[in-house]
Structure 1
Amino acid sequence: MKKILVTGGSGFLGSHLCDRLISRGDDVLCVDNFFTGSKQNVKHLLTHPNFELMRHDVTFPLYVEVNQIFNLACPASPVHYQHDPVQTTKTSVHGAINMLGLAKRVGARILQASTSEVYGDPEVHPQPESYWGKVNPIGIRSCYDEGKRCAETLFFDYHRQHNLDIKVVRIFNTYGPRMHPNDGRVVSNFIVQALQGRDITIYGDGSQTRSFCYVDDLIEAFLKMMETEHGFTGPVNIGNPCEFSMLQLAELVLKHTQSKSKLIFNPLPSDDPKQRKPDISLAQQKLDWIPKVSLEDGLKETISYFKKILPTI
């Protein structure tokens, strides 16, 4: 049995990770300040003897004894990370410093949940890990993009300077049950609007593309990455390379919700990437991992979840 710390553990990704860790017999310490996470996401785990929930903000040091750390703490949608951009940067940067310091003290292996946003609005397509990105350092998304880039810098400097055992994954668009209904992300936006019979809002002309990875596939990659050999640090792209335009996504949501919602078009937000698709050849080679859940199957599960929770919010 490992003692594993999951920061941001009551959030969308964190709660699914806690589920998997508990199901395989690990002892899990879930840490969250509940800015975007919800106790509801881990409510079913609260009575489990191997699960502990702690309210804590990673911008402050944490003193616990653990074997592994999954550092997921940070608001990940524009609505949430732009609400308090200074705090968003602090969460990425101070949070990384505090969790790296903890890992160094207790000799733990630590995984950083980074993001495809480190590539910015890419000039290379699809994006390999070797691409350095095209990021605006002073835009409205910079608090998140540059915060995550700086966190990666800190991870690699701790690795070089202190021989810390680090793992870095770059997450591309992920969706599934427990997404926050008001997070402003395209999948949750479209589903909520369709289920409520409101117009579906498309930004730009709908031709911009994203690659959507179902949450179960992503968590599997997390676990595989954490178990790779010492010395393999990443970064590793984790995402689904099947590319869809916003119009294609909207049509699939309309089909599976059987909604009569109409499509409306609004101006594209500042610094919004026009293309996003991972090159996952490194994940295939090092993790023996490829995503298995199709967008249609994943959307059915996600729509089913939103049908249950929408009457309660």
Structure 2
Amino acid sequence: MSKVGFVGLGVMGNGMAQNLIKSGQDVMVYDVRPEACDAAVGLGAERAGSLEDMAGCDPVLVMVNTADQASSVISALSKAVDSAKGLTVAIMSTIEPQELRKLAGQYKAKGIDVIDAPVSGGPVLANAGQLSIMAGGTESQVDKVRPALEPMSKAVFHVGDAGQGLAMKLVNNVITIANMTLVPAALKVGLEAGLNLKKMVEVIKASAGNNFVIENWEMALLVMDIMIGNEASKQNQLKINEKDIRAFISLAKEMGIDSGAGAGVLSMVLSDDQADKALLDKFKAAMA
């Protein structure tokens, strides 16, 4: 397997890239913030001076925040890639399926196969190499990138053609974000009513309200610490949640569905009833 390129070493991408390196693969990394690559380079990755330097890698994994950023990455690669040799780019970010399909069509003639491979699990599981990955593309395209995906995941699911991985991710995300928003809000009310937090978690685990957040409560606290442990992190996470839910609603509309459920989750995300550091500190104290 040739050198693997990895673009975007943020909260999620850093752990993903490090697990790829630890698996023994030859990896080149790039981030607009050069210091974000330091840990990966310390483990043996090669630091790319520019995105164009990655045109010799195959595949290139992209973990950025937006569709515009993903498009900019592919545009830069297209200027240096050898179209005769070709290149596969796996977009691991959460963007809209139609945006992925547009990129795939736009760069096909330039020898770049664009597929989607979004992830689920959050930064704790990214660091542990235990993400779920939902891949969309042809069987041969997914098989080509699978060796680069497996070191960072507990499972790689091939769910269909290009864009289908993102459709699956949006379905999963609307459920995840609903749980991550509703569970802290509900437990907050329980605390104010005088209930014991440990007992609430125990009871919910044994009851119909059980879900991934409650089932993995201690890990959920670690994830919340990363995502909402300070105001800047909280606001960034709320923007990401809003983006993802709006993408789900857009997908539903594309399918001819007016998703009241999606609108309801969006309303929760935009409400003032959000977990914050003060509530997180209460949870930690109650679990001590």
State the structure with more CA Rg: 2
Q: TM-score, normalised by structure 1?
A: 0.45
If each structure's helix is expressed as a fraction of its own residues, which one has the higher value?
Answer: 2
**TM value normalised by structure 2:** 0.48
Q: Quick one: higher RCO (CA 8 Å, sep 6+), 1 or 2?
A: 1
